[in-house]
């Protein structure tokens, strides 16, 4: 028997085409009908384009997000307990993606040190942006897929989990995301914001810190667009009762000195051991402070927890709980090629997008979701903007199991490096702004 529909797709499309406002009932029906298959892909593609061109107001975006959440299950962490018997606070972080962005790896165990549970549901990389799960799968034995009860048990016992999101969370978003990817509507801020926040709210965390990247290696290239996205997501979080703040952070140059999978794990472990690149440490500590503040933890000292080994202890337990061996040797690329500095001077630019594309072409990323990645592939950077370099000294090292990939990777790096006379402009600040 055919279901009688409350609305029809052409009517909904026409409203947004003509810059109208959808009612809550129309939005609920649209998401439900598309998830059920009652709205065809070509119709939803037309609606997505109308949204891209004409936008949505805050009430529409909030209801669209709520409808996507309602398409699936919601996780519940109220059973997590502190030692005194009270409910354990939860906090999560989401990054909009960048190059060398391994911050989740040291951040989750660092926040867990202070008794806050961190349910970090993460994804895989696509194109030039790396994926947290791809990085962690470089660790022998580690597994990304956990059931809800396993997630709860690990949060209670260890305090932190990094794993794949289950298929039951916001299934409408999975369909919409795939459609946006092939119809030129990925850039629509209402659709980006609702996609991210539907999954994060359905995940059930009590507080959320957003790391919204700005620059060539980020999804949002300009500060105005990144700020609009951040403000929209913060508003969606508040509408759903999730304490939400956002940091705008610089992605003009890669984070840290590595872009890849195993080499980013290696760098993350250096941070957990009290070392590591300054920018990775700075952002890890700042995000930890924001997460702890949002979860109601005052007077915590994340920097001390990195230095004294407490965060490393949680990391080891977290990796072991998911079948990994934190002390096992990480995969190493079979081949390498060094790119020397072309001149003496100050490195003033190392373009994040170029480095990300080079790492992708070396085998660290994928062009399609079904592609495999090389654990050892990537790019090592021997200097960051602001550093003095000398002609002929190593500037970048390319890593791959397939040396025939070096040529295309080097093409991606043409024009990525700018060296100027000593005394040239310093590197840009890492943290641009805070939005709450």
Query: Pick the catalytic residue: 62, 195, 216, 268?
Result: 195
- Inter-residue contact 106 to 315 (CB < 8 Å): yes
User: What is the Cα–Cα distance from 102 to 100, expressed in whole angstroms?
Assistant: 6
Q: Quick count: other Cβ atoms within 10 Å of Cβ 423?
A: 7
Which 8-state DSSP code applies to residue 403? G
User: What is the Cα–Cα distance from 116 to 97, expressed in whole angstroms?
Assistant: 24
Catalytic annotation on 401? no
Query: Pick the catalytic residue: 16, 102, 199, 286?
Result: 199
Catalytic annotation on 424? no
Composition of the chain by helix, strand, coil, percent to 5: 40, 15, 40
Strands (E) across 143-251 are located at 160-164, 207-214, 243-250
Catalytic annotation on 180? yes
**C-alpha dist (Å) from residue 198 to 97, 343, 381, 391:** 17, 49, 36, 50
Catalytic annotation on 199? yes
Query: Pick the catalytic residue: 28, 101, 173, 211?
Result: 173
- Inter-residue contact 284 to 401 (CB < 8 Å): no
- Inter-residue contact 175 to 40 (CB < 8 Å): no
Could you identify the residue written with the tokens 């794993």? Answer: 163
Query: Pick the catalytic residue: 88, 180, 213, 243?
Result: 180
Q: Annotate 152-180 with b (16+ C-beta within 10 A) or e (fewer).
A: bebbeebbbbbbebbeebbbbbbbbeebb
Which 8-state DSSP code applies to residue 390? -
Catalytic annotation on 221? no
User: What is the Cα–Cα distance from 266 to 332, expressed in whole angstroms?
Assistant: 11
Hey, which residues are catalytic here?
94, 173, 180, 195, 199
């Amino acid at each position: 028997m055919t279901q009688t529909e409350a609305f029809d797709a052409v009517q909904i499309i026409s409203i947004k085409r003509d810059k109208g406002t959808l009612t809550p009932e129309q939005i609920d029906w649209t998401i439900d009908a598309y998830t059920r298959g009652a709205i065809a892909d070509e119709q939803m593609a037309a609606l997505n384009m109308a949204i891209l061109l004409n936008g949505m107001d805050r009430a529409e975006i909030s209801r669209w997000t709520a409808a996507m959440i309602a398409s699936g299950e919601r996780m519940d962490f109220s059973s997590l307990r502190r030692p005194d018997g009270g409910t354990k606070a939860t906090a999560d972080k989401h990054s909009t993606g960048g190059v060398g962005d391994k911050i989740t790896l040291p951040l989750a165990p660092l926040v867990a040190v202070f008794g806050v549970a961190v349910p970090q549901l993460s994804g895989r990389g696509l194109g030039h942006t790396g994926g947290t799960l791809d990085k962690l799968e470089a660790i022998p034995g580690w597994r990304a897929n956990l059931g809800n009860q396993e997630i709860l048990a690990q949060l209670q016992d260890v305090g932190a989990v990094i794993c794949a999101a289950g298929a039951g969370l916001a299934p409408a978003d999975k369909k919409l995301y795939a459609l946006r990817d092939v119809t030129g509507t990925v850039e629509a801020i209402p659709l980006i914001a609702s996609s991210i926040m539907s999954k994060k709210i359905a995940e059930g965390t009590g507080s959320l810190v957003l790391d919204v990247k700005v620059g060539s290696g980020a999804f949002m290239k300009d500060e105005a667009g990144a700020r609009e996205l951040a403000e929209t997501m913060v508003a969606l979080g508040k509408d759903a009762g999730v304490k939400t703040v956002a940091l705008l952070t610089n992605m003009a140059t890669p984070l840290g000195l590595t872009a890849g999978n195993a080499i980013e794990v290696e760098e993350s472990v250096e941070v957990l051991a009290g070392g590591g690149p300054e920018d990775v440490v700075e952002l890890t500590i700042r995000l930890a402070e924001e997460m702890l503040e949002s979860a109601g933890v005052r007077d915590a000292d994340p920097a001390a927890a990195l230095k004294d080994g407490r965060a490393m202890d949680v990391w080891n337990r977290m990796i072991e709980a998911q079948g990994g061996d934190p002390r096992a040797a990480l995969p190493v690329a079979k081949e390498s090629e060094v790119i020397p500095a072309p001149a003496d001077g100050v490195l003033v630019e190392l373009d994040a997008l170029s480095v990300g594309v080079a790492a992708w072409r070396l085998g660290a990323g994928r062009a399609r979701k079904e592609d495999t990645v090389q654990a050892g592939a990537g790019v090592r950077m021997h200097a960051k903007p602001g550093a003095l370099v000398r002609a002929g000294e190593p500037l970048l090292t390319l890593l791959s199991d397939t040396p025939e990939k070096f040529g295309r990777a080097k093409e991606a790096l043409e024009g990525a490096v700018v060296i100027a006379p000593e005394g040239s402009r310093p590197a840009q600040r890492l943290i641009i702004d805070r939005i709450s």
